[in-house]
Amino acid sequence: MSNVSLINYSTREFTTKGEMDSYIRKQDEIFTEEVTKIFIEAGMLRRVVTQIWNKKETFRVGIIFEYKDQTAYKNCQSLNILQVLLNAMLVQSLL
């Protein structure tokens, strides 16, 4: 395993299992092999989406990003912002 120097962990909570499943599917659609490769080139070492099962009737996921250093984190944050904007533009073009 590569040397990880920075980890970003966040959670998302949903009101229904369907919303959570939709979010997970969307993450798989957004983070294609090509997109993941761009993030890896920017310094991301690993990205994982996990379902959190510790409470009944709670629909929550955890998202883990591991980076090789602070510069890699900043580079990937810029890519995240760009990705969100591009996806919003795509949605608008479909409306």
The 10s digit of each residue's pLDDT in 65-79 is: 999 999 999 999 888
- pLDDT confidence of residue 12: 94
45: left (phi over 0), alpha (psi -120 to 50) or beta: alpha
Q: Which two tokens stand for residue 67?
A: 């980076």
- pLDDT confidence of residue 94: 66
Helix, strand, coil share (%) of the chain residues, nearest 5: 50, 30, 20
Distances (CA, A) of 22 to 3, 13, 37: 33, 12, 23
Sequence-distant (≥ 6) Cβ neighbours of residue 93 within 8 angstroms: none
The 10s digit of each residue's pLDDT in 21-77 is: 999 998 888 888 888 898 999 999 999 999 999 888 899 999 999 999 999 999 998
CA distance 44 to 67: 4
